[in-house]
Every structure is written in C-alpha cells, then in structure tokens.
Amino acid sequence: MHTHITSRPDRAGLRSLIVSVPQQAVSGVANAAKTLQAGFTTLRNVGAAGYADVALRDSINSGETIGPRLFVSGPPIGATGGHCDENLLPERYHDTRESVADGVEEVRKKVREIHKYGADLIKICATGGVLSKGDSVGGQQLTYDEMKTAVDEAHMLGLKVAAHAHGTSGIADAIRAGVDTIEHASLADADGIALAKAKGAVFDMDIYNDDFILSEGAKMGILPESLEKERSIGRAQRETFKKAVQAGVIMTFGTDAGVYPHGDNGKQFAKMVEWGMTTMQAIQAATATAAKVLGHLGDDLGAIAPGKYADIVAVQGDPLANVAELEHVKFVMKAGVVYRQDDQATVIK
C-alpha cells in the first residue's frame, strides 16, 4: 500500500538531482518485475514524478511489460518548501515540484489536475519527512483547510486520499479532514490513535524501512540530516505501531519500497509480528484489509474466492508458523497467469 515503484534506493539525496523522469520510468519497469517475482500482485504507488507511475500502470495493464497491478497517485501534493517540494538546490537554481500547492484554491486545482492526468488516488504531504532537506520531520505543512479541500475534492471525484504524516498535529488534522490512509503515522499520540479508531482512518506504517535506512542509507546517498531524523523517529514509529495495533486501528501493509530495494517488500511481515500483530493480522494487512481499504479499486482483490482475480502465492513452509517464509515466495500467479514457479518437486511435497 506504499511503494515508490519508479525510485531506486541508491539514488537518494543529491544523487536524485541527476535522475530524469524517463530514467525513473525505465527503473519502474525493472522494479515492477522484481516486485511481482517477490509475490506482490497489486501495489498502491504513492508518489512519482512526471506521472511515470501512470504510464507504468497502463503499460502493465496492456501486457506490454510485466508487473503487479498498480494503483497510482502520480505526483504528491505538498506545500512550498515542504516534504514534497524540491529543497536540495540553492535559490539560484530555483526549482519547484510539479505538484506544489499553497492555499485551498491551489490544492483544489491540483487535485483536479492529478485526476485529469490519470491518477487512481491522491497523495498529500501533511507533515515534514525523513528524506526531505530542511524540514522538521514532525512539523505540520498543510493546514486543516488545505487537507479538507483535498479530501472533499478527491472524494467528489471518487478518489481516496493518502497523507504522508509523521507529526502529531498533522496526523490529527489529516484524520479530522477525512483522509483515508495515514502514511508512516510515526508520532501519532493517544488522541490521534483514538481519533483514527473513531473515524475509521487507516494507519499504513513502514516499520521495516528504518533498519535499511540506518544500516545502508549513508552508502545510498541519504543526507546526514535525514539519517539523524530517522534515528529520532524510527523507534517511536514502531512503538506507535504497537499501540495502534492494540487499540484496534485498521492497519495495512505499506513498506516505502524504493527507499529500500524493490523485491524486499516481504521483509516487513516479520517486523509487524515482532511489534504486536498476529501472523494472520500481518498477512491480512497485505491482502484482505488492503483490498478493503482500496475501496472500489479493491473489489476483486484480497481473497481467494469465486469472482476475485486468481492472485495466489505459495511458499515452501507454513507462513503461520514462520512469517518470514513470505520473504521467499516460490510461486506467483497474477490474474490466473503464473509468473514464477520454482522447483516444483520441492514446492509440492
């Protein structure tokens, strides 16, 4: 429910400046194939430049390239200077991301524009982020009114809204504004968790990601200030995850793959179990619950039943006994077509 299919982990920080949108689209083709091979038959992509994710979705749907079924947001809406703007260059190289919007009227127009160019959902950047330069990870960046406008406009158009939100006040305002899924949700406090539960807002928390950023991030080009931000919130996010699970908040499986290598998505299952989910809850977060949270887009997904797409994976052992089996998928079928089948004699025993 949270990938960046056109991103590569080794193009972080300043390295991102020399990557063109066409290059991102080409990387997306390779990343999509890897992710399908890892057993993920549907992805929700939340943020891509130049509508490269829209193009990739259409290419996969037409049979031109191989990958998971994609539901995509296109470029994420954010404030000038915020998490979803471009803050790496000094003013003399002034650059603004295509989806920056300030004030309710600009937000409204941007939602309509992103719908026009083919997105399946809207992503907004409610608070600061770990990987953005110059902002505070907990600081709110869109006002309640801006978020309410984005939600009203998107819902009128039949699109759900995902909000990137680490900070406490931004999470609460996003939920109050009617946002459907809170991405990261790192610093949600007891009130935020209670509000999510009351309003049926969904937490989509990337709790494996922290391990990769802290061990490999510097090599990938992640800025020192971003590594510092990750150190400040990584553990807190996992503690929030545990509290949200205990409180009964609806939780989905979102990894932020793209920040870490595509195809390693399954590594998050074990973290979700380590931090409070039952194995079945973690599996459902990636299947039945995710399909439900997608709304009408998920009608034919998330279960093995008559009338649903035949999206099936197989592993060698029992994933309910050892959830890490889901990191080593041996068989992948998407919509009735087999894309992976390792050593049949071993699999069927």
Q: Which is nearer to Zn ion, 7 or 41 (CB)?
A: 7
What is the secondary structure of 36-91 as a DSSP string?
HHTT--EEEE---GGGHHHHHHHHHHTTSS---EEEE--SPBB-TTSTTS--SS-G
| Cα dist from 321 to 107, 149, 300, 303, 312, whole Å | 47, 46, 28, 20, 19
Cβ within 8 Å of residue 25, ≥6 positions away: 6, 50, 52, 55, 56
User: In angstroms, what is the minimal distance from the CB of 41 to Zn ion?
Assistant: 20
Q: Which is nearer to Zn ion, 120 or 256 (CB)?
A: 256
CA distance linking residue 152 with residue 34, whole number of Å: 36
Q: Which is nearer to Zn ion, 170 or 319 (CB)?
A: 170
Q: What is the identity of the amino acid at 122?
A: I
Binding residues for Zn ion, rule: CB under 5 A, are 256
Q: Which is nearer to Zn ion, 135 or 256 (CB)?
A: 256
Name the residue with the smallest CB distance to Zn ion.
256
User: In angstroms, what is the minimal distance from the CB of 297 to Zn ion?
Assistant: 19
CA distance linking residue 227 with residue 233, whole number of Å: 10
CA distance linking residue 195 with residue 173, whole number of Å: 10
User: In angstroms, what is the minimal distance from the CB of 130 to Zn ion?
Assistant: 9
User: In angstroms, what is the minimal distance from the CB of 4 to Zn ion?
Assistant: 6
User: In angstroms, what is the minimal distance from the CB of 29 to Zn ion?
Assistant: 20
| Cα dist from 185 to 90, 106, 157, 241, whole Å | 30, 25, 26, 8
Q: Which is nearer to Zn ion, 44 or 110 (CB)?
A: 44
User: In angstroms, what is the minimal distance from the CB of 46 to Zn ion?
Assistant: 6
Q: Which is nearer to Zn ion, 8 or 330 (CB)?
A: 8
